[in-house]
Structure 1
Amino acid sequence: MPRCHTDCVERPLSQCFGALGRCVGRHPLWFLLVPLVLSASLGSGFIFLGEMRSRASSIEDQFTPVDGAAKRERLVVQTNFPREQDGPGQRFSSQRLITEGTYGSLIVTSTSDNILTDDAFGKILKINNKILEMEVENHQNFSTLCAFNGAQCLTNAILELSDTGTPGFPNIIHYPMNNGVFLGTSVGGVQFMNQTSNQIKSARAVRLIYFLREEDNATLNSLWLNKFIITASQMKETEVDVSYFTSLSREEEFENSAKSITPLFSVTYALAINFSIWSCMRLDCVRNKVWVAAFGVLSAGMAVLSSFGLLLYLEIPFSMTVASAPFLILGIGVDDMFIMISCWQQTKVKNTVEERMATAYRDGAVSITITTLTDAAAFALGLLTPFRSVWAFCAYTGTAVLFCFLYSLTFFGAFLALNGRREASNRHWFTCQKVQEPGESASRSKLSSMCCLGGVYDQVTGTEKPLPVNSFFEKFYGPFLTKGWVKVCVVLLYAGYLATSVYGCFQMKEGIDLKNLASDDSYLGHYYDDIDEYFSQYGPSVMVVLNNRDFKYWDKSAQDQLERCLETFESLTFENKSLVDRQLTISWLRFYLLFGKSRNLNLTDKRTFGDNLSGFLKSPSTNLLRQDVNFSVPELKIYASRMFIQTVNINTANDEKNLLYLLRETAKSEVCPQPLEVYHPAFIYFDQYAVIVSNTIQNLLLATLVMLVVSLTLIPNPICSLWVTFAIASIIIGVSGFMAMWDVNLDSVSMINLIICVGFSVDFSAHISYAFISSPKPTANEKAVDALVRLGYPILQGALSTILGVVVLSVSVSYIFRTFFKIMTLVICFGALHGLVFLPVFLTLCGVCGGKVQDQKGNQEGVLDGKDTSKNTRSSTESRGMTGSPGESKCSKSSEANILIRNNAFDPDCHED
């Protein structure tokens, strides 16, 4: 029966691309102009950039899970405890806010050991007065915009501690509760009189918070908060330091940090153009590919313009993370350009342009199809992530990869054909004037020959001459790497690499630090540092919400159950550290039962419980608790209620993760009535810890599986696939471990890069292993050298072009873009290390398909993977002729499989068994 060896997909695909190449060679102007018009048309979508950026400017929307549990918990709180209208007579409670609220905050720190001195207090009062006196539109100031505490503006508790008539603090201040006022978030860096006392001896910092009303005041509030930032930035007080923050700061600074990346685009494209020109420059004034290289970079730029414009037309929000995509696309586009130039250089120079284009496309187009499919598939899987920042990046970048592929085959291919026509007529690369061929004139000086002679090619292979750089891998590096003692060193090096990587994985931190969303020089960094240093002892005050309208609060067993539940929360610990301060718990039911006990009321009786509840909640001393019970009076129906527990010792991201896990686990335990929810506005951001690891692992596994399917389809060799799997896993472990040691957390930003990691690791691993397996050389060592000769320089060239695409991000003042640079550098470096060092050695040690075997007649025949390789085998000279100049053997990077199937290793034809 008919059987096809290994190219049942690759071969017809190659023939289709060959036909396309011939068409491009015949009608280059059409393929040049149509992409230009298309790119210009789609690029007009950038007029919507501002609108799409504003849609994606919310940090919560971009960097928290779309379906996070905290968002569901917030909805429960919003439904049962709607915020009362702001106004005189209402008591504002920041503890009961469903969101952060609208506010400005100052942290005043002392340059001495104590901020609680009369002199320091005088400076704090002066700073406070400046804030209160600020005016915005129509003489609006804090007194007209403030949140109310009864009939007065909500004030800072710390300012009320001064003795009457004196401008200083009292001699005795207790911490954290002082005369019923909680000072845990107002005074920081506290030192006590002694170990058993709660009396403050000294403190390093005081925090002032100015809350504004949110009802119908959005515009005025924004004006006031912006004025607040300006005023705070101008505060220069001796002996004290001031840091500041507003509820709008994160969003504004996040938006500003995106603008810092704009100047780096021009630097990146300048580097790419120079590197491309240098790589494609030849001394031959006819074979020089300078203009081809420049148009290759232009092609990548057009891909970015078209893809971004298209998605902007489709109203896809433009997240800040997308701003790093052009740097990556530039590297991919330049890489594809090198492949196409390489495959062009390997064609017969005496053939017609159409024939050369057909041949180049048969090799190069299949090559870049493999890399395009792997990269696009990785980005497509990234669309499954629950983070919109990752989703937007993958959508824009994946689309750009496809446009990059399209323009490489059309726009860039068309210019390559036009350049081929120039070469065919032996014209100068710059002046386009005809020059003499080397054999047409007498000897000239070297300078004269470089300027006035051209058209040299290899008389043996009929292709353009290779550069000497390829001989380095054949004569020096390859033989050196295959020495026995070098292999031992490489194995030991890999063991050290793997051990270090695994160790790093266990050191990995999860979650994105919110201050990293602003630029390094932002005022946010100073404020967050002060918070971490002075106000980290007390964490969020967490709502414990009982959303059960059938719960019988007056029933003694129900009361006992709720009390046991609350005590379970209060006893939570982690690593021998208490997570809750039981002295600061706020429970309306506890207070109500104490009230009933003091009045000799039987609050286990439903009628008594209901008749006294409204009066209790209206008392001046307890009216804040009225906001904690959602009930109707006539039938005593309590729809929901909430209590508060004060968390402590939450200093790190790991503490936040464990706190969230323990709270939710306790809320769902049998000891608590159901349904019970725990909520704090910060949990919206803590939710990333719940999904980041599992989602990253899921995406990596799926991406690896897809990479294998693509590899098996277009380079269908099972042994090669095993080595691809090994290399992908090894590179991912290495990148994950080393990024942890390079101060990069596992968050939605680094998740993007780990997804990219899978696609790029295929480029280095699949083709070096396939080149080894398909090499006609008789021994494993010779196969390794042969694979390195074919692919060594292309791997280096591809790695360098990609790194140049992102290197300028290393100087960015934004954590997001620096993270992109760090992980991409690790991906490329470890990929190249596997391709050039680890895989060649491991393949020789395993002896995969190495050596010749004898047939039954005793004749030596080249057998590879059970298939006859004695046919269609080129001489080593001819094979070496396929690996040319910088970029010449680049088509071997991915199309090595294509070339080897047709020319070296396998009979390309299907035959009868």
Structure 2
Amino acid sequence: MSQHRGRYSTFDVYFISLFFRWGLIVHKLRWILFISPFLLTAFLAFGFVWIRELTTNDPQFVFSPDDAYWRFERGVLSEHWPLDEQRFWPGKSYDYNGYVDVIAAGLPDKELGRPNMLLSRYLNELDRINQYIIYNLTVSVEHEGLSYEVGFTDLCMSYDWKCYLNDHLTMLQPKHKWGTFNADIADFAKSIIETEVKITYPIGWRGTEPIYFGALVGGVHLTDADGHFDYVKAVRLTYNVRDGQVGNVSKVWRKKVAEYLTNKNVRASDVLEFGMYHNESLYEGLKDVADELNPKFALTSTILFIFCVGCSIVLLSDEKKRKLVGIDWVRSKPILGLAALICPMMAVISAFGLLLWLGVIYNEIVNVSPFIVLSVGLDDAFIMTASWHRTNPQLSVARRLAEALAEAAVSITITSVTDMLTFGIGCYTTLPGVRLFCMYTFWGITFTYLYQITYFAAVMAFAGEMEDKGKHALFGIKTLKMEQAETPLKKYLFSGSVCRQEENESKALESEESGLKRRADKQTDKSVRFDDVTLYGSDPKISSEVKSKSLGEKERGSMKGMIKKFLKSMESAQHEWDEKFDSHHCKETFVNRLFREVYGPFLLTTRTQLYILFFYAVYATGAIYGLTQVKEGLNPRNLVRNSFYLADFYELIDETFWEEGLQMQVVVNNAPDLFAPSQRQQIGEMISAFENTPYTMRHNATMIWLDAFEAKLRSDWEEFNITLPETSAQWYQRCQEWLLTAGGRRLWELDMVWERNETNPTDSRVKAFRFQVGLRNYKTPTDHTNSCKLMRDIAEHYRQFNVTTFHEYYPFADQYLELKPALYRNCILALLCMMFVSFVMIPNLAAAFVITAAIVSIDIGVLGYMSLWGINLESVSMITIIMSIGFSVDLSAHITYAFVKSEGTNNEKAIAALETLGWPVFLGAFSTVVGISVLIFVDATIVNIFVKTVLLVITFSLLHGIVFLPLLLIVALPRLDVECCKVINGPKKSEMRKRENSNGENKAYK
């Protein structure tokens, strides 16, 4: 046995030894280890004091990479045109603080669709709403003991002290309604209106001042090539209020507008519906989702509690009659079901509290993390509980706990460490939302592992003591023997199996003889006991041999010897009769027999294997096809609940302005000499390049001052015979003069940055300018991404002008652009880490590669079928894919480790692995499904995406773990030396059946 031990003393063996000793320590210090996690959790919970100040409500920060290029692009605009609340012009803004965007449309008809908003009925109603918001909708403000009513005109951004009042509503009315004039000037006024005002799409004119109707009306039907229209689906209103000193008041006013327009109970209008967006709408929508999730967590906890308690019940069966006769309240462990739930809950509080103590930012996206931590924690709890039930009830409690922890050590450590690594790697992604989620989940899983080997193990010790004394698992009283339970009620509420103490007293002689026989057989036993690798094992020969080495004369006085002696003093002493019994009991459960006698042999038949091979081929084909259909991007509408008002806004903008009409800012940072014809030609080519793409409107939708100025020069020459500029200085001088008199001077001067010559003011020039290009086909996240890439490529092509582009959806596009590279980086790094951990914990190189192959297969399946299910690759699905790596390792590693450590032929190993861990693996997967099932009832697409991807992860992981993987292991792993491999589920089955309840009055089934 010593030669085998030397040959197979791999890391997992020493790890098992460590946990065996830890089990003895836990038993002795169970009260301390039970209370300490509660005290630590209570201390760390004080971190929640800072949750409000650490909460970020900026979706652009959460869903966009740290180094996203849009931050630079917006910075360019901010540098050239800093926000001036007294010189504000709608359409020129790039900063949406204080911005309120309202889209109004008529209530749709089921057959005819949406009505024409140009009809007086709808325009008049919209004008009434607009007037009410501007002049009547106010908020109360207390100042120096006095109360004031503050409205839009008090808070608005302005140009030359005049608010923007949505004047285009008047322009859309029939022209005879524009004003009331006396007869003397009626004809004159009508003539001016007819000749000077042009209501055309996408650009109209008020004299020489252009008005961009593309952003004001949507779903337009044109009647001629000049842009006249007779139908619009929606009309847009904007309200821009100041930030700064009145920011808090503006915030309250915006919320009041939102409440007025989106109240479902008291509608603002009987004929119109509204979609509204302001700078905090997306944050409010995410918070609304989080508020919906919080009660669901309580429901999840309740369901899982019932599930865990139900799984902990052990039933009594009459062996002769082959039927259930009651509940074994001695071996049942409902207290472990409760502890299994409390453990991850404490871990979540500790993790959140610690990170808040450390000043880590909090966002509602991390509120899904507790569901993951809960699922991982329950998975390990099932493994530990199953290990306890496989230990021999005739052993002392301390020894049983040591054996249970030693058996579960590798499985629960692989589960936790791989999940820690998976989410730990996610902490280094450039996407803040993913990073925050992974950080909170990483610490949640870390604390779960710590609490499981302390708090949960201590509860196992207490539960073991109750079982050892034959006490009721719920009431703590002495249970009744089956023959003492006179009524069915007593059988199901108060009965229990014979406890160890009573059984040992009544069968002392038989136990002694049985123990002597087992000790005589140990030299031929094919399994390596935990004692063989435990420093202070209880096998007499090995124990004395190890003790002589570890506590020899040379070492006894050394520091190492003192440490060992101290650790020995921390352990519970093992009882002398522990050596008379095997470490694992010989009783079988229903699920053991199901996996060993039914499922295992069925799985290994040739016909079944052929069917599975065909099924896997279909699975792989579908997954690979799905990979070719993957789409990136998350529609902003999917970030909020379907019942939240922002969903209506995105629905309306999708029908209208995403089709056509939005504007993109284009900045020329290094303006050339615009007088030079060759330079103007290059500028014209650049403008044409931007206009002639699938995502941009043509030149008639471009707002650029250069066209207006050149038109003015031609008009002066043709009408007034004013010569054209002959030098660059004259050209720029005429441009400055034009800005003083042009009808659109307020508009155009906000697009130009002048380089002033202080010594010679007439020698000034334009050093930078911008223009706006109309957008179209901007409906999907893919369109946003492709458009962003194309616009940046065009800008890069004209690098001599140092061109910068920007649109308000660029932050989302940058997220989409980063998703695939970040996913590839994280997955490859995670796979390497998983392979390393698997190889360290499972002493077989081929097994580590098999686990890696299973991970790759599962991830390909998740990603492929995710796309076929209509789920795009975005932050939420990326989090789940990262999570799937850890989950797939969990289930695969359990089965693989059991296979490697089992004895016999490869077929016998596969059956033994399924018999040992098939049921705990199934329970762990099923508990995860139960845990997230309540999220199905949350009417938020972002949550539904999470649920769907988790279901795919769990389904494919379980499918691989108990169907594909056993067959792969049979083929991929060579037959191990049966003399050197420990049977993790106890003694050989032939011996089990010989020793199985010789007088068997009762038999326990789980």
Compute the TM-score of the two structures, normalised by the length of structure 2: 0.79
Residues 1:849 and 2:974 are matched in the alignment: yes
Structure 2 SS opposite 1:34: helix
- Which of 331, 335, 343 is the matching residue for 2:387? 343
Q: Report what 1:175 is aligned to.
A: 201
Q: Given the superposition, is the C-alpha separation of residues 645 and 879 from structure 1 closer, same or farther in structure 2, using an over 3 Å criterion?
A: farther
Question: Aligned partners of 1:605, 1:557: CA distance in 2, in Å?
Answer: 14
Structure 2 SS opposite 1:516: helix
Aligned-residue offset at 1:399: 0.6
Q: Given the superposition, is the C-alpha separation of residues 520 and 163 from structure 1 closer, same or farther in structure 2, using an over 3 Å criterion?
A: closer
Is 1:260–1:813's contact at 8 Å kept on the other side of the alignment? no
Which residue identity does 1:517 align to in structure 2? L
Question: Aligned partners of 2:353, 2:993: CA distance in 1, in Å?
Answer: 44
Aligned-residue offset at 1:706: 0.8
Deviations 1:213-270 (A, max 9, x none): 4454312322221221232234454443333333332222222221111211221111
**TM alignment of 1:45-194, pairs within 5 A:** 45-52=47-54, 55-83=55-83, 85-87=84-86, 90=87, 92-99=89-96, 102-111=99-108, 113-132=115-134, 133-137=136-140, 138-150=148-160, 152-156=162-166, 157-166=168-177, 173-179=199-205, 180-193=210-223
- Which of 869, 879, 882 is the matching residue for 1:755? 882
What's the % identity of the aligned pairs? 29
Structure 2 SS opposite 1:668: helix
Which residue identity does 1:211 align to in structure 2? N
Aligned-residue offset at 1:714: 0.9
**TM alignment of 1:578-617, pairs within 5 A:** 579-597=696-714, 598=716, 605-617=727-739
Structure 1 SS opposite 2:700: strand
Which residue identity does 1:580 align to in structure 2? M
Residues 1:240 and 2:284 are matched in the alignment: no
- Which of 341, 346, 351 is the matching residue for 1:302? 346
**TM alignment of 1:605-644, pairs within 5 A:** 605-623=727-745, 624-634=747-757, 636=764, 638-644=766-772
- Which of 548, 551, 554 is the matching residue for 2:670? 548
Is 1:272–1:297's contact at 8 Å kept on the other side of the alignment? yes
Deviations 1:91-123 (A, max 9, x none): 513234344652241413254642212232222
Q: Report what 2:948 is aligned to.
A: 822
Structure 1 SS opposite 2:308: helix
Residues 1:404 and 2:521 are matched in the alignment: no
Question: Aligned partners of 2:982, 2:150: CA distance in 1, in Å?
Answer: 90
Residues 1:835 and 2:837 are matched in the alignment: no
Question: Aligned partners of 2:983, 2:175: CA distance in 1, in Å?
Answer: 103
Q: Given the superposition, is the C-alpha separation of residues 387 and 837 from structure 1 closer, same or farther in structure 2, using an over 3 Å criterion?
A: same
Is 1:107–1:527's contact at 8 Å kept on the other side of the alignment? no
Aligned-residue offset at 1:21: 1.4
Deviations 1:838-883 (A, max 9, x none): 2233444x36425xxxxxxxxxxx747xx96699995234689999
Aligned-residue offset at 1:15: 2.0
Residues 1:787 and 2:920 are matched in the alignment: no
Q: Given the superposition, is the C-alpha separation of residues 187 and 869 from structure 1 closer, same or farther in structure 2, using an over 3 Å criterion?
A: closer
Q: Report what 1:499 is aligned to.
A: 621
Is 1:28–1:414's contact at 8 Å kept on the other side of the alignment? yes
The range that moved more, 388-397 or 245-254, is: 245-254
Is 2:127–2:169's contact at 8 Å kept on the other side of the alignment? no
Aligned-residue offset at 1:468: 0.8
- Which of 334, 354, 365 is the matching residue for 1:290? 334
Question: Aligned partners of 2:993, 2:311: CA distance in 1, in Å?
Answer: 19
Q: Report what 1:528 is aligned to.
A: 650
Aligned-residue offset at 1:732: 0.9
Structure 2 SS opposite 1:822: helix
- Which of 680, 695, 715 is the matching residue for 2:842? 715
Which residue identity does 2:277 align to in structure 1? F
Question: Aligned partners of 2:21, 2:257: CA distance in 1, in Å?
Answer: 67
Question: Aligned partners of 1:308, 1:474: CA distance in 2, in Å?
Answer: 43
Residues 1:218 and 2:346 are matched in the alignment: no
Identify unmatched segments of 5+ residues in structure 1: 851-861, 891-913
Structure 2 SS opposite 1:586: coil
Deviations 1:578-599 (A, max 9, x none): 6332222233344444444555
Q: Given the superposition, is the C-alpha separation of residues 466 and 617 from structure 1 closer, same or farther in structure 2, using an over 3 Å criterion?
A: farther
Residues 1:13 and 2:12 are matched in the alignment: no
- Which of 236, 243, 247 is the matching residue for 1:207? 236
Which residue identity does 2:686 align to in structure 1? C
Deviations 1:143-188 (A, max 9, x none): 3333334553213224323245538999995322333432222222
Question: Aligned partners of 1:6, 1:825: CA distance in 2, in Å?
Answer: 39
Q: Given the superposition, is the C-alpha separation of residues 565 and 167 from structure 1 closer, same or farther in structure 2, using an over 3 Å criterion?
A: closer
Is 1:115–1:203's contact at 8 Å kept on the other side of the alignment? yes
Is 2:586–2:987's contact at 8 Å kept on the other side of the alignment? no
Is 1:322–1:396's contact at 8 Å kept on the other side of the alignment? yes
The range that moved more, 132-141 or 19-28, is: 132-141
Is 2:922–2:958's contact at 8 Å kept on the other side of the alignment? yes
Is 2:27–2:398's contact at 8 Å kept on the other side of the alignment? yes
Q: Report what 2:561 is aligned to.
A: none
Q: Report what 1:804 is aligned to.
A: 930
- Which of 414, 439, 448 is the matching residue for 1:370? 414
Structure 2 SS opposite 1:696: helix
Which residue identity does 1:218 align to in structure 2? G
Q: How many residues align?
A: 857
Residues 1:767 and 2:894 are matched in the alignment: yes
**TM alignment of 1:383-402, pairs within 5 A:** 383-402=427-446
Q: Report what 1:278 is aligned to.
A: 310
Residues 1:511 and 2:633 are matched in the alignment: yes
Q: Given the superposition, is the C-alpha separation of residues 543 and 35 from structure 1 closer, same or farther in structure 2, using an over 3 Å criterion?
A: same
Aligned-residue offset at 1:654: 1.3
Is 1:423–1:455's contact at 8 Å kept on the other side of the alignment? no
Is 2:834–2:889's contact at 8 Å kept on the other side of the alignment? yes
Question: Aligned partners of 1:847, 1:548: CA distance in 2, in Å?
Answer: 64
Question: Aligned partners of 1:789, 1:476: CA distance in 2, in Å?
Answer: 10
Larger Rg: 2
The range that moved more, 305-314 or 625-634, is: 625-634
Residues 1:566 and 2:592 are matched in the alignment: no
Aligned-residue offset at 1:692: 1.0
Q: Given the superposition, is the C-alpha separation of residues 43 and 223 from structure 1 closer, same or farther in structure 2, using an over 3 Å criterion?
A: closer
Is 1:336–1:368's contact at 8 Å kept on the other side of the alignment? yes
Q: Given the superposition, is the C-alpha separation of residues 622 and 226 from structure 1 closer, same or farther in structure 2, using an over 3 Å criterion?
A: same
Question: Aligned partners of 2:431, 2:241: CA distance in 1, in Å?
Answer: 31
Question: Aligned partners of 1:613, 1:190: CA distance in 2, in Å?
Answer: 35
Is 1:20–1:358's contact at 8 Å kept on the other side of the alignment? yes
Q: Given the superposition, is the C-alpha separation of residues 294 and 239 from structure 1 closer, same or farther in structure 2, using an over 3 Å criterion?
A: closer
Which residue identity does 2:255 align to in structure 1? N
Aligned-residue offset at 1:794: 2.0
- Which of 755, 770, 783 is the matching residue for 1:655? 783
Q: Report what 2:291 is aligned to.
A: 259
Question: Aligned partners of 1:31, 1:526: CA distance in 2, in Å?
Answer: 53
Question: Aligned partners of 1:472, 1:781: CA distance in 2, in Å?
Answer: 16
- Which of 387, 403, 415 is the matching residue for 1:359? 403
Identify unmatched segments of 5+ residues in structure 2: 109-113, 141-147, 180-192, 315-326, 504-510, 512-580, 758-762, 997-1003
Is 2:366–2:440's contact at 8 Å kept on the other side of the alignment? yes
Question: Aligned partners of 1:342, 1:664: CA distance in 2, in Å?
Answer: 58
Is 2:100–2:276's contact at 8 Å kept on the other side of the alignment? no
Question: Aligned partners of 2:912, 2:436: CA distance in 1, in Å?
Answer: 42
